[in-house]
Chains A and B, each alone.
Chain A
Amino acid sequence: MSAATLTPTAAGDAPIPLRAHLRHTGALIRRNLLWIRQDPESMFDAILFPVIFTLLFVYVFGGSIGASMGGGQDQYVQYVVPGLMAMMGMNMAQGVGTGFNTDFNSGVMDRFRSLPIGRGSVLVAKIAVELLRMLFATVVLMIVAVLVGFDITHWTGMLASIGLSAVFGSALMWVFLTLGVVMKSAQSVQAMGFLVLMPLQFGSSIFAPTASMPGWLQNFTDYNPLSALADTARGLMLGGPVAHDLWVTLAWSVGLTAVMAPVAIHKFRTKN
């Protein structure tokens, strides 16, 4: 344990065992959870966001979009709730970047980086807690959804789509963590996130069927991973074909993680 028992080797560095990685990540998750306990207001967005979006879309736009789909508000509820679930992952992912940036500017990161821990632990712990927040927001969403008349027909499908949103959400979190490390202030991370997310969210099948959109926009929505995620959730929760959209979503998740996780860790390691 002490310095004296460690013999310096001529070259190379001591690797960190897997168990130590898990222990470090666990300790950092505990820290992030203590943050939430100390500052419960940080959970407000996880409660308010699903409530506001559900009420807004169901009651403001629900009637007319539902009518154009050949039904009414009830039909729109069934359409939009799986879409909102897909969106939950994105919004939580955006928060991870801002939070991480604030953390970075506080000096605590210097302490972490001067400790013998894997660089990934800090990032993985952050993502783990954000996933918990996302899960919480999803539970809130489902409660509100049922209250406004959503009919859960496939329980296993619902759980599967929650899982899929989490997978896609964590992939996006690597992107936002990278932004959080690279950009100078939390404000610019937020602004950047907004710029990226706005077109992705609304240029998708989350809120409305894409059939009535102009051709050029349909080209965009067809390739937008959020459409695939929303359509998979719809299929899983309401029944219908999912295979194609599911593969597209998984491919995006794996691809984003494979590219962005190493980038985020590298940027974190070399940040000065």
Chain B
Amino acid sequence: MTVRGLVKHYGDTKALDGVDLDVREGTVMGVLGPNGAGKTTLVRILSTLLAPDAGRATVAGYDVVRQPRQLRRVIGLTGQYASVDEKLSGWENLYLIGRLLDLSRKDTRARADELLERFSLTEAARRPVGTYSGGMRRRLDLAASMIGRPAVLYLDEPTTGLDPRTRNEVWDEVKAMVGDGVTVLLTTQYMEEAEQLASELTVVDRGKVIAGGGIEELKARVGGRTLRVRPADPAHLRPLARALDELGITGLATTTVDAERGSVLVPVLSDEQLTAVIGAVTARGITLSSVVTELPSLDEVFLSLTGHRASAPQDARPADDREEVAV
């Protein structure tokens, strides 16, 4: 996938302002950015739903503007909002799409059964999708985009609005698809999701690419992690905060106190700093109940890459998957 100088305006707003992107075959490219950064516009152009105002894009060897029909044959699209037909059953949804992709009746039936099985929807196969839960719909949506065995898959914020458990299910499915050798373009607002699924990352803001590279490389540039240190005795919260502040560690932000959750947040850039924190705690004789490291939020990523906060307000999602650190 090669994207060069893609531009799209909506009236006076520049949704895309000269985007370049390269995705190697069989890899997962994460496109990270806040609401309104242009992620969905990018996906809509690359899936032929929208014509760009300027620039070029080639996907799987096809030009998105000049060869849309051939391109549509090799792509799969899973939108931000599950685009399955509520009044049809899960099976009928898949059957319809299979037929529209020119599979024979027999192949379509076999493929629908196979995918329903794989996405654990066999039991609900004959029920109208309107009765499905959010997670089931999203899984059906993924199944629908896999019917034609696409070479390239677009996942536009595949887990937005899902609870953590369901989100993990979707992640597992996506990982399995990637295992099949599909090239994936994933858009997301969450650093965690990008880290879970993508091998490379492009950070976009206000229609422009502001950073790109391998996940590890970007994480290093962004400045790693935040340590959440919680004293066993809440009375030790303030003394602990003072002690850690005196260490003078400044990663992405300064040391702060999260009184509500009875913990101190320390941004650390290196394992040495992490060790220093533990040392300082031990030196003061404070007992800790937990120490966890959290990934930087999208806001922190933006702050460190651009020096300004994400352009649109975010609904902050707490990091659910934490690395437990032995205390």
A contact set with B: CB distance below 8 Å:
1-3, 6, 8-9, 11-16, 20, 23-24, 26-28, 30-31, 34-35, 38-39, 106-108, 110-117, 270, 272
Contacts and interface: CB of A to CB of B under 8 A. Distances in A.
Contacts of B3: none
Given A14-B69, A114-B49, A116-B69, A272 B74 contact: no
A114 B72 contact: yes
Contacts of B85: 31, 106, 108
Interface string B141-169: 00010000111000000000000000000
B69 A111 contact: no
B73 to A, nearest CB: 5
A19 to B, nearest CB: 10
A111 B83 contact: yes
Given A31-B85, A108-B83, A272 B62 contact: no
Given A27-B96, A270-B51, A107 B67 contact: no
Nearest to B102: A20
Nearest to B68: A13
B68 A110 contact: no
B101 A272 contact: no
B120 interface: no
B29 interface: no
Contacts of B101: 115-116
A107 B62 contact: no
A54 to B, nearest CB: 31
Interface in B73-109: 73-75, 77, 79, 81-88, 92, 96-97, 99-103
Interface string B37-72: 000000010011111000000001110001111101
A8 B73 CA distance: 12
Contacts of B128: 38
Contact of B88 (A26, A31, A110): A31
B67 A115 contact: no
Contacts of B69: 13-16, 116
B99 A107 contact: no
Contacts of B61: 8
Contact of B67 (A2, A12, A20): A12
B200 to A, nearest CB: 22
B88 A34 contact: yes
A35 B73 contact: no
Contacts of A38: 87-88, 128
29 contacts: A3-B60, A3-B73, A3-B74, A3-B149, A3-B151, A13-B68, A14-B67, A14-B69, A14-B70, A20-B102, A23-B99, A27-B99, A28-B96, A31-B92, A34-B87, A35-B88, A106-B83, A107-B81, A108-B83, A110-B77, A110-B83, A111-B83, A111-B144, A113-B48, A113-B49, A114-B75, A115-B100, A116-B102, A270-B51
Contacts of B102: 1, 20, 23, 116
Contacts of B87: 34-35, 38-39
Quick one: which of A2, A111, A115, A272 has the most chain B CB within 10 A?
A111
Nearest to A107: B83
A38 B92 CA distance: 12
Contacts of B51: 270
A31 B102 CA distance: 16
Contacts of B100: 24, 27-28, 112, 115-117
